[in-house]
């Protein structure tokens, strides 16, 4: 594992623990708000996308026929990953908060702690590998 | 949950400036690709390409395209290379000056429109012009277009947060009250405890997450940050919108102009602090994934598709379903519409959405649905009724009528442009057929429900992502097939690029007009939506002193904190009663109101609250005139049955002496 991979893997849980530590700051402090907001908006999604990324990208996405830049598809994929990081984070936050409130076990700290623990566990999961490409018969088009 | 009643109701590296791409070189020299040292590309079989839109060969050679060939050829001078930097900061500087010189203390019937400093309009015009000439310049990267769109969002969606000291919209204040309720109760409650408002506890996703955020940030309530929610929620839409458009075209002009038109046309105002603001972004996120990953390219041997993508959309669909009632329905009809094309005939996303939606409706949301089912069934098929109630009340007064018509004109123009784009852009219509279907998919919802008089606005909003793509295409040069384009190039020399012309100025004027029209459409009724701090203070004073079981009576619900403590304090808005009863109140205000309010059981008390927000709503929606409301107030003030307990320049509060002695 390269240092860069290690940073990408550990950044989401670090963000979660940092947000938890920020709760010791005074109420409504900008630093506290920023740490919490950044983790809730990107942390859980980044952890999920790191695990599922290779498998999710195993097949090319739809792209326009008029693309002229060879990097166009790559940049669209980057955009897609960014969207998934944010939207999966938002989705997971909505679901976690709903589960806790439906179970009468709601508190802000519990929501943050649950997401931080899940993100930390996710950091120890290896990325899902892409399924091998389908076998093609000799002479057939790939 | 009932919607608001008001009218609110990225990156392809481009050549470094000064350098020329092969395509530009060819365009400027007018030489054929081979002559320009570029590989000549044999024209592919046209019939094959046209019959398989997405099996058309990807172009990697700029000489294949005519998309940018219509652009004016500009010599690579340093000044011109840097010019996009000028209009954007100039526009933002004008905006900054405008918002610091805008006085909102005395809003008239034109809302923010007449209160804004003139430099705001100049700034907006400069921004549009800067955007249009930047997005048309092939040397400018996507980053510049992004910067201009962000500038637009700041000017459109952050102005109100900057100029008003308190959050807008009674509905946003209501949602703040729901968050407060979840924080107070710590759990979900039923209609036995909450009455009609238990509906929010059956779709609690957004509110639960906001409750967590309020606690984690350490603020008193969501009101501390909800004024900025329109900007946040609008930014959330940007990523899926770009992805959707990039699935069907690589033309930067088309992508960014469509994004621009979307933001300008989306005046409906569902971007405020509400579940639908997040659910709409997630809805677009699901569509972006489906359009990119559930097409023929992503299908492996035997039609296998990664279960992981289904897991991804499942998370987003669950978040939508637990947060909002209408969005899952809109998502289902959109996914069903996509299944009409062979390209996207994968039933997995649709089945996933329907199963999750039904599972939630038949469990957590069953109490609300079983109570509302008779009304829902009655409204099915009543298209006229569902359409005619689009405006809950009749806009009254020059300002309200004018801004309503500007909003209608804006929406109508964008939809007409979209139709023109579909008819004119034959090639694009074929390539982006799924977007045509997505634009049309929400229309059947007119037959399903009036959705609290709001269905017309919601249908419009859900049509916009698809419609705006073709509205943008109507303003841009015709897209050719790859084969036709290559053949044309082989058959004739390239035309010398023309300078600024009709095709430049007409779209620019259309964009300027649309962008300026957004402001009255979105902010033209701010007299109704804005509650000054003293009005907030007055209402808060009522709820601070109201014992449990109290009743607050008001003309309508258009005031801040209207739902504060709704689990402890009841409400009665007499303008929502029958016309006959309102007439009785007008005939004998104090006695009739006292009789209505006498039902309160001790220790509860009955309060009569009249504020400027109610005056604005009643007058601008043609309910009661200001004179009639003042007559009611004078009657109550003069009555021995009532005692004035609070008041300031924004309103007055009386308590019924007879109740809870």
pLDDT in tens, B524-534: 999 999 999 99
- Looking at residue B58, its pLDDT comes to 44
Q: Least CB-CB distance to B216: which of A36, A62, A133? A: A36
Hey, is the C-beta of A140 within 8 angstroms of any chain B C-beta?
Answer: no
Average pLDDT, chain B: 82
Q: Least CB-CB distance to B308: which of A56, A66, A100? A: A56
- Looking at residue B13, its pLDDT comes to 31
CA distance A121 to chain B (A): 18
Q: How far apart are CA B513 and CA B549, in angstroms?
A: 52
Other C-beta atoms closer than 10 Å to the C-beta of A74 total 12
Q: How far apart are CA B258 and CA B464, in angstroms?
A: 10
- Looking at residue A8, its pLDDT comes to 84
CA distance A12 to chain B (A): 18
- Looking at residue B305, its pLDDT comes to 56
Q: Determine how β-strand B551-554 pairs with β-strand B642-648.
A: unpaired
Closest CA to B334 of B358, B311, B307, B354: B354
Which of 65-124 (A) contact B at CB < 8 A? 65-72, 75-76, 79-80, 82-84, 86-88, 90-95, 97-98, 100-102, 104, 106-109, 111-112
- Looking at residue B82, its pLDDT comes to 62
- Of A106-110, B305-309, B567-571, B652-656, where does mean pLDDT reach its minimum? B305-309
Closest residue, chain A, to B15 (C-alpha): A69
Is residue B456 very low, low, confident or very high in pLDDT (cuts 50, 70, 90)?
A: confident
**Average pLDDT score over residue span B337-345:** 87
Closest residue, chain B, to A33 (C-alpha): B217
Q: What is the ipTM of this complex?
A: 0.92
Residue B41, helix vs strand vs coil = coil
Residues of chain B above pLDDT 70, percent: 79
Q: What is the pLDDT of residues B614-642, one digit of tens each?
A: 999 999 888 888 899 999 999 999 999 99
- Looking at residue B64, its pLDDT comes to 39
- For residue A33, the chain B residues in CB contact (below 8 A) are 217-218
Q: Determine how β-strand B651-656 pairs with β-strand B642-648.
A: antiparallel
Higher pLDDT, B48 or B441: B441
- Looking at residue A131, its pLDDT comes to 64
- Looking at residue B77, its pLDDT comes to 53
Q: How far apart are CA B654 and CA B594, in angstroms?
A: 11
- For residue A19, the chain B residues in CB contact (below 8 A) are 216
- For residue A90, the chain B residues in CB contact (below 8 A) are 209, 236, 278, 281-282, 319
Is residue B435 very low, low, confident or very high in pLDDT (cuts 50, 70, 90)?
A: very high
Q: Is the pLDDT of residue B43 over 50?
A: no
All domains in chain B, ordered by first residue: 22-168+225-527 (no CATH), 531-661 (3.40.50)
Give the helix/strand (H/E) hosting B648. strand B642-648
Q: Determine how β-strand B551-554 pairs with β-strand B570-573.
A: parallel
- Looking at residue B631, its pLDDT comes to 93
CA distance A100 to chain B (A): 8
Q: What is the DSSP letter of B111?
A: B
Q: Is the pLDDT of residue B47 over 70?
A: no
Q: What is the number of residues in chain A? A: 142
Q: Which of B27, B63, B297, B308 to mutate to test the interface with A (most CBs of A within 10 A)?
A: B308
Closest residue, chain A, to B61 (C-alpha): A68
Q: Is the pLDDT of residue B590 over 80?
A: yes
**Average pLDDT score over residue span B271-300:** 89
- For residue B216, the chain A residues in CB contact (below 8 A) are 19, 23, 32, 36, 40, 108-109, 111-112
Higher pLDDT, B196 or A49: A49
- Looking at residue B302, its pLDDT comes to 40
Contact indicator for B41, B490 with CB cutoff of 8 Å:
no
The pTM of this model reads 0.86
Is residue B498 very low, low, confident or very high in pLDDT (cuts 50, 70, 90)?
A: very low
Higher pLDDT, B392 or B540: B540
Q: Verify whether the Cβ–Cβ distance B239 to A79 is below 8 Å.
A: yes
- For residue B200, the chain A residues in CB contact (below 8 A) are none
Low-confidence ranges of chain A (pLDDT < 70): 130-142
H, E, C per residue of B200-251: HHHCCHHHHHHHHHHHHHCCCCHHHCHHHHHHHHHHHHHHHHHHHHHCCCCC
- Domain ranges within chain A, ordered by starting residue: 3-57+76-123
Among B164-168, B266-270, B450-454, B504-508, top mean pLDDT goes to B164-168
- Looking at residue B384, its pLDDT comes to 62
CA distance A79 to chain B (A): 7
CA distance B221 to chain A (A): 11
């Amino acid at each position: 594992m390269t240092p860069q991979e290690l940073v990408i893997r550990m950044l989401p849980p670090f963000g979660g623990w940092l947000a938890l530590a920020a709760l010791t700051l005074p109420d409504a402090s900008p630093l506290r708000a920023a740490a919490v907001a950044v983790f809730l908006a990107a942390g859980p999604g980044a952890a999920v996308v790191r695990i599922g990324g290779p498998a999710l990208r195993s097949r090319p996405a739809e792209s326009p026929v008029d693309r002229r830049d060879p990097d166009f598809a790559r940049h669209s994929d980057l955009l897609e990953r960014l969207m998934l990081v944010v939207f999966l984070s938002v989705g997971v936050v909505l679901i976690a908060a709903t589960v806790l409130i439906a179970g009468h076990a709601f508190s802000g700290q519990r929501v943050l702690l649950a997401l931080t623990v899940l993100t930390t566990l996710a950091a120890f999961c290896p990325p899902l590998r892409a399924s091998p490409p389908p076998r093609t018969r000799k002479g057939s088009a790939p | 949950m009932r919607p608001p009643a008001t009218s609110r109701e990225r990156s392809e590296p481009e050549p470094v400036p000064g350098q020329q791409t092969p395509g530009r070189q060819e365009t400027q020299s007018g030489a054929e690709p081979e002559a320009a040292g570029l590989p000549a590309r044999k024209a592919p079989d046209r019939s094959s390409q046209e019959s398989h839109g997405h099996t058309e060969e990807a172009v990697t050679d700029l000489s294949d395209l005519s998309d940018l060939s219509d652009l004016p050829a500009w010599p690579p001078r340093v000044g011109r290379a840097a010019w996009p930097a000028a209009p954007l900061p100039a526009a933002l500087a004008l905006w900054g000056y405008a918002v610091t010189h805008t006085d909102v203390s005395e809003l008239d019937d034109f809302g923010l429109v007449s209160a804004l400093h003139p430099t705001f309009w100049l700034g907006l015009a400069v921004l549009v012009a800067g955007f249009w000439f930047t997005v048309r310049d092939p040397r400018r990267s996507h980053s510049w277009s992004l910067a201009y769109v962000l500038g637009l969002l700041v000017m459109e969606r952050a102005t109100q947060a900057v100029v008003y000291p308190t959050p807008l919209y009674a509905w946003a204040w209501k949602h703040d009250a729901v968050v407060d309720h979840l924080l107070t109760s710590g759990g979900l409650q039923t209609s036995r405890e909450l009455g009609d408002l238990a509906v929010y506890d059956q779709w609690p996703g957004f509110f639960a997450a906001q409750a967590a955020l309020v606690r984690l940030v350490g603020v008193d309530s969501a009101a501390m940050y909800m004024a900025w929610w329109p900007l946040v929620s609008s930014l959330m839409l940007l990523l899926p919108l770009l992805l959707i458009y990039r699935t069907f075209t690589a033309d930067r002009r088309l992508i960014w102009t469509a994004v621009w038109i979307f933001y300008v046309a989306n005046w409906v105002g569902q971007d405020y602090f509400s579940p639908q603001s997040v659910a709409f972004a997630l809805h677009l996120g699901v569509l972006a994934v489906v359009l990119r990953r559930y097409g023929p390219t992503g299908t492996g041997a035997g039609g296998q598709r990664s279960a992981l993508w289904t897991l991804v959309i499942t998370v987003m669909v669950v978040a939508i379903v637990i947060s909002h009632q209408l969005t899952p329905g809109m998502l289902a009809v959109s996914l069903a519409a996509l299944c009409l094309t062979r390209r996207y005939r994968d039933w997995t996303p649709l089945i996933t959405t329907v199963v999750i939606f039904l599972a939630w409706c038949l469990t957590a949301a069953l109490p609300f649905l079983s109570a509302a089912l008779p009304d829902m069934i009655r409204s099915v098929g009543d298209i006229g009724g569902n359409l005619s109630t689009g405006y809950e009340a009749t806009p009254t007064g020059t300002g309200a009528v004018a801004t309503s018509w500007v909003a209608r004109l804006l929406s109508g123009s964008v939809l007409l442009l979209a139709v023109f784009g579909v008819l004119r852009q034959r090639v694009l219509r074929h390539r982006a057929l799924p977007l045509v279907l997505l634009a049309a998919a929400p229309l059947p919802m007119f037959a399903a429900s009036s959705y609290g008089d709001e269905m017309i606005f919601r249908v419009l909003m859900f049509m916009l992502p698809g419609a705006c793509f073709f509205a943008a295409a109507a303003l841009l040069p015709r897209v050719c097939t790859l084969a036709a384009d290559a053949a044309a190039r082989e058959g004739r020399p390239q035309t010398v690029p023309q300078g600024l012309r009709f095709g430049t100025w007409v779209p620019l004027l259309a964009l300027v007009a649309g962008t300026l029209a957004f402001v009255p459409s979105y902010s033209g009724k701010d007299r109704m939506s804005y509650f000054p701090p003293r009005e907030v203070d007055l209402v808060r004073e009522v709820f601070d002193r109201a014992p449990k079981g109290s009743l607050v009576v008001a003309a309508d619900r258009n005031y801040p904190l209207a739902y504060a403590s709704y689990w402890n304090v009841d409400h009665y808005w007499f303008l929502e009663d029958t016309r006959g009863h309102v007439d009785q109140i007008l005939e004998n205000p104090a006695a009739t109101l006292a009789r209505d309010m006498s039902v309160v059981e001790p220790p509860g008390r009955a309060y009569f609250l009249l504020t400027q927000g109610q005056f604005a709503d009643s007058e601008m929606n043609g309910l009661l005139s200001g004179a009639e409301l003042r007559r009611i107030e004078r009657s109550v003030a003069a009555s021995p049955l009532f005692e004035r307990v609070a008041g300031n320049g924004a309103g007055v509060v009386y308590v019924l002496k007879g109740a809870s002695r």
